[in-house]
Amino acid sequence: MTHFRDGEFSGFDIEQLHKVEKKLMVAPFHFCRGRLDIHAIQSWGRLAKARHGIKLLVVDYLQRVSVPAEMLKKSRQEQVAYISNQSKDLALELGIVVW
């Protein structure tokens, strides 16, 4: 990661990056658009895992994820922590990476 961050790739690093890039170019992607709450994301993730066998779920912007009504009275910091914990629980439940 230091090489990646600093832009100091060796020939081997660049070769490995290109191998991964080729795999990503043919990998199937499934998108779910719109502003969802954490429970909708969990449902979508479970469905996508069952139908397509996903191994990675990417949440683009964690702070934009909605929370259930009972969490609205709490601070946004607590809400984001709740979303983060629910995401981690989903990752463990489905055996996937939530990023």
Residue 98, strand partner residues = 57
Average pLDDT over residues 76-90: 94
Cα-trace Rg, the chain: 17
pLDDT tens-digit series, residues 4-60: 778 777 888 878 878 888 887 888 888 887 888 999 999 999 999 999 999 999 998
| Selection from 49, 26, 31, 37 nearest residue 95 by Cα | 49
Residue, of 89 and 7, whose pLDDT is higher: 89
Residue, of 1 and 8, whose pLDDT is higher: 8
Q: Where are the beta strands (DSSP E) in 1-99?
A: 56-57, 97-98
pLDDT tens-digit series, residues 59-71: 988 888 999 999 9
pTM of the model: 0.74
Task: List the domain boundaries for the chain.
Answer: 1-27, 31-98
